[in-house]
Amino acid sequence: MRYQTVIGLEVHLQLSTKTKAFCSCAIDFGRPPNSGVCPVCLGLPGTLPVYNKEALNSAIKVALAFSCQIQEHTKFDRKNYFYPDLPKNYQISQFDLPLSRNGHLEIISEGELKRIGITRIHLEEDAGKLIHGSNSSLVDFNRTGVPLLEIVSEPDIFSPQEAFDYLTTLKNIIEYLDVSDCDMEKGSLRCDANISLRPEGSKELGVKTELKNMNSFKGVKDALTFEVIRQTELLESGQAISQETRLWDAGKGVTVAMRSKEGAKDYRYFPDPDLTVFVIEQEAVKRIKSGLPELPKEKMRRFIKEYGLSEYDAKILVNSRRDAEFAEECLRMYPGKDKKPVVNWLIGPLLSEANNRKLSLCGLKVDKQELINLVGFVEKQEISNLSAKLVLTQMIDTRKPAEEIIKENNMLQISDSTKLEAIILEVIRDNEKSVNSFKEGKTNALMFLVGQVMKRSAGKANPKVVGDLLKRRLTGA
C-alpha cells in the first residue's frame, strides 16, 4: 500500500524584546545563572505580572505577516503542570482565545507553490534552563518568562522536504520583521513536529507521533525522514503506531520513544486571574500593518519588475533582509540600465566568497562603490573575469580599493592591438600545425591559438580582442 505523510509543525519563537514578558528583567542570555530574575518571574507569592507592550506589537506583526486574523478579544490562561524549570507550576499561555487564527504561509517546495495553513499564533512565556548533573539537576531561571510565540501549522505539510521549506520561509519572514533571532542552535527558535501516515487517498488522519529535540532545520527534516520510514515499516508489517512523544537523537540518527510515559496531558487551563483581557482595536492593527516592512515575497516581485531580475536570481537575493538591502543599493548605484552584470557578481563570485567564509553577503563588508567599480572594469573589458575574482578576494582581505589592487598586480588587460599583434605573430609562427588545421576549417584550433596568446601575455590579453585579431590575420578578412 502507498502511504501519504501528514505533518504539522509547532514553532516556538523567542521575541527579542529588551525585557521579559511579564516583568522588567532584562533579557541577556550571556549573564551568570539566576542573575536575571525577580519576584515576578520566580513566581513568588503576591506579585503581579504585566504584559510587555513591545512583545504584543511584535506578536501582532508576526500574525499579520502570516495573514492571520487578529482576534478582537484575547486573554491569558494558566497551563498547569509540574516541572522544575517552571517556578510557578504553571505556564502563562493562551488557550481558547489566542491572539490570532486562520493564517497561511506560501512556500515554494520542489518548484511548486504551496499554501500551508496556520491554525493559530499565540502568546506564552518561556521556562528556565535545566542542567543535569550526576546526582542533581541544576536550574537557571534567567530564561523564565522570556516572551514566546507559538506558531501552529495545519497538518498541511506532506513531506520532510516541505517541512524544511516551511521552516526556511517562516524564518525568512521573521527575520524581515526583525522580532527574533530565529537561531535554532541558541534555542530562540524551536520546532516540534507531529507526523502520521495514512493510506493514499484516505481523508482520515492516522495515529501520530510527536517529535522533539531537533536543534536545526536539517534535524527536523532528518527526524521526519526517519519517522516516515519507521512508521511505514510498522504499518506494512501490520503493526499499530502508538501515539507517543519521541526524541530525536541526532548522533545516532534515530527517534526514540520517551521513557517517562506521561498519561494523557491534563493541563487544567483556566483564565489567569492576575492578567486582564486585551481588546485589540482595528485601528491599532491597521497602524501596525502599515508599518510592516516589505516582506520577502513582495521584495522578490519588485526586484523582478524594477531591475529585470530572473525569478531565480531575485529569490537568492531576498534570502536575507540585510543582504537584499545591500544588493538593492548596489543595483541602484550601478549606472547601466541593464543590471545583469551586477546581479551576476552578487550571486556569483560575491556569494561564493560569502559561503567560503561562512558569512552573509553584507557580512563580507565589501564597499558597495568598490564592487560597482570592479564590475565596471570587467564590463569595459579592462580586466579579465578571472583577474576580477582575484581582485575581489583581495578587496575582502585587504579592504583596498579595486583599482589599487589591479594596478599593484599589473592586471589590466592588453586590448591594445599593436601590443597584441606582436604576440599573435609569434604564436602563428610557432604553431604551424594548428594554423593549418584552422585554415582547413577546424574552428577548435582557433581556441587553442587564443589560449597560446593568453599564455604568452601572462593572462593579460583580452581574449575577445585576441580572437578577433587572430581570425582577421588567419582568414585575411
CA angle 197–199–203, rounded 5-degree value: 90
The single residue among 24, 310, 355, 409 that binds another protein, judged by CB under 8 A, is 24
Q: Per CB under 8 A, does 257 bind another protein?
A: no
**Separation CA 54–CA 22 (nearest Å):** 11
Instruction: Determine, following the binding rule CB under 5 A, whether residue 146 of this chain makes contact with Zn ion.
Output: no
How, if at all, do strands 73-74 and 278-279 pair? antiparallel
Cα dihedral 247→252→253→254 (10° resolution): -40
Contact set for Zn ion, span 16-45 (CB under 5 A): 23, 25, 38, 40-41
Contact flag: residue 130 with another protein (CB under 8 A): yes
**Rounded Cα–Cα distance for residues 164 and 110 (Å):** 11
How many residues lie near Zn ion (CB under 5 A)? 5
Assess 283 for contact with another protein (CB under 8 A).
no
Rounded distance between C-alpha atoms, residue 465 and residue 473, angstroms = 12
Q: How far is the CB of 75 from another protein (least distance, A)?
A: 5
Q: Which option in another protein, Zn ion, none does residue 247 bind, with CB closer than 5 to 8 A by kind?
A: another protein
Tell me the CA distances in angstroms from 62 to 18, 104, 354, one per residue in order.
18, 12, 29
- The CB density around residue 157, as the number of other CB atoms within 10 Å, is 28
Q: Under rule CB under 8 A, how many of the chain's residues touch another protein?
A: 53
- Any contact of residue 278 with another protein (CB under 8 A)? yes
Residue 116 to residue 172: CA distance in whole angstroms: 15
Q: Which residues pair with 152 in a beta bridge?
A: 10, 120
From the list another protein, Zn ion, none, partner contacted by residue 131 (C-beta under 5 to 8 A by kind): another protein
**What is the largest distance, in Å, between two alpha-carbon atoms of the chain?**
99
Residues 6+ apart with CB under 8 A from 416: none
The one of another protein, Zn ion, none whose footprint includes residue 237, by CB under 5 to 8 A per kind, is: none
Name 150's bridge partners: 12, 122
Give 23's DSSP letter. S
Query: Phi first, then psi: what are they for 73, rounded to 5°?
Result: -110, 130
Amino acid type, 254? V
**Of 64, 256, 68, 81, residue with least CA distance to 152:** 68
Q: What residues between 134 and 173 interact with another protein by CB under 8 A?
A: 134-141
CB of 60 to another protein, least distance (A): 12
The reply on whether position 55 binds Zn ion by CB under 5 A is no
Residue 38 vs 177, nearer CB to Zn ion: 38
Stretch that binds another protein, among 124-132, 195-203, 319-327, 418-426 (CB under 8 A): 124-132
Closest CA to 83 of 300, 237, 285, 262: 262
Site string for another protein, 211-250 (x = CB under 8 A): ------------------------------------x---
C-alpha cell at 313: 536570481
- Shortest distance in whole angstroms from residue 231 CB to Zn ion: 43
Give the range of 130-138, 187-195, 232-240, 388-396 binding another protein by CB under 8 A: 130-138
x/- letters, 78..117, toward another protein (CB under 8 A)? --x-xxx------------x--------------------
Q: What spatial distance separates the first Cα and last Cα of the chain, rounded to whole Å?
A: 71
| Residue of 3, 38, 344, 363 interacting with another protein (CB under 8 A) | 38
Handedness of CA 169, 18, 27, 10 (dihedral sign): negative
Residue 17 within binding range of another protein, rule CB under 8 A: yes
* Among positions 268, 357, 380, 407, the unique one binding another protein when judged by CB under 8 A: 268
Using CB under 8 A as the binding rule, the residues of this chain from 171 to 210 that contact another protein are none
Please say which residue, 51 or 66, places its beta carbon nearer to another protein. Answer: 51
User: Which residues are near another protein by CB under 8 A?
Assistant: 17-19, 24-26, 32-39, 42, 50-56, 75, 80, 82-84, 97, 130-141, 247, 258-260, 266, 268, 271, 273, 275-279
Binding site for Zn ion (CB under 5 A): 23, 25, 38, 40-41
